Amino acid sequence: MIKTYVCLGLIVLGLAGCKKPTEVNYSIDLQGHRGCRGIYPENTIQGFVHALELGVTTLEMDLVISKDYQVIVSHEPFFSHEISRDSLGVDISEENERNHNIYQLTVPEIQQYDVGLRPHSRFPTQKKMEATKPVFKDVVKASEKVSLELGRTPPRYNIEIKRVPKQDSIYHPGAFDFASQVVYEVMKLGITERTTIQSFDPESLQMVRNIQPEIQVALLVENKESPMENISRLGFVPEIYSPDFKLVDEDLLFLCKEQNMQLIPWTVNEVADMEKLLQWKVDGIITDYPDRLFPLLKSQNIRVK
């Protein structure tokens, strides 16, 4: 009996000396903006792979359409002077960048350009390497492969339809054709349940919703109109409201909860801004620097979902 009491006492003392397991604060969707633009060349397979190696769970990227009707990963529908060199290795100038129209180029022509070697004035620490604008399906295949190799669950994809209505038939197809091609690729790749389609263009999101209601959509916002005005223009409540992070305030937080929308702001690169948004418990953060966000999540016991 005495031995039993001694054992029980030791157990109690042992428990008293143990630290209480730290509870997880909440979970967040960590999205790598254009892969991890602050670290690797934007919208490139190398950048997306590195983002996954860092632990990003959602890859954010932009889509345009080529002359041979392939879905291309690119922020602009042309080769931007900030990142591009032509097929001869010559830096593209701001004055003639729009002459390098992706909608008028085939995939083999597009891949003669380089978008990874030119120093980026706004991202001086970005690693430089040879890189081309990839076809969307190739990004998905590479991302699925590296996730499997890393022993992680397959990533999510947050893909933006880069449509400007006045540029229809010049830099891209009209809303229905553009959305149809993107949705078709998503379904063909078997990633419907892991894909969000985002856009600043309400008509593009309306087309997506009509073509395939199972794909969740995100309304991108950078104007100062009220959220309800933006939602009214869209015509339905999206699954995700995605504003410029400077537009986030407590009223928007309340509205998103009331309307059952996730709130995922962009593009959050400074640690102080990340900390503020984490205090507000936003549903996700889109950043060029996932390597800056991960230490904050760890220190606050926030899980990446």
User: Model confidence over 71-130: pLDDT tens digits?
Assistant: 999 999 999 999 999 999 999 999 999 999 999 999 999 999 999 999 999 999 999 999
For 134, the token pair is 């990839």
For 122, the token pair is 């706004």
Nearest partner of 225 among 188, 259, 252, judged by Cα: 252
Is 61 in contact with 87 (CB distance < 8 Å)? no
Indicate if the pLDDT at residue 19 is higher than 50.
no
Measured in degrees and rounded to the nearest 5, phi and psi for residue 13 equal: -65, -40
> 189 in a domain, yes or no?
yes
In this prediction the pTM is 0.92
Please report where in the chains the tokens 């960590």 appear, as a residue: 30
Note the pLDDT tens digit of each residue in 229-249.
999 999 999 999 999 999 999
CATH code for position 224: 3.20.20.190
Total domain count for the chain? Answer: 1
> 83 in a domain, yes or no?
no
Question: What is residue 23's predicted lDDT score, i.e. its pLDDT?
Answer: 64
- Structural domain boundaries enclosing 194: 23-68+133-304
> 298 in a domain, yes or no?
yes
Q: Is 89 left (phi over 0), alpha (psi -120 to 50) or beta?
A: left
> 119 in a domain, yes or no?
no
CA atoms of 222 and 21, how far apart (whole Å): 41
> 62 in a domain, yes or no?
yes
Question: What is residue 25's predicted lDDT score, i.e. its pLDDT?
Answer: 80
Note the pLDDT tens digit of each residue in 245-289.
999 999 999 999 999 999 999 999 999 999 999 999 999 999 999
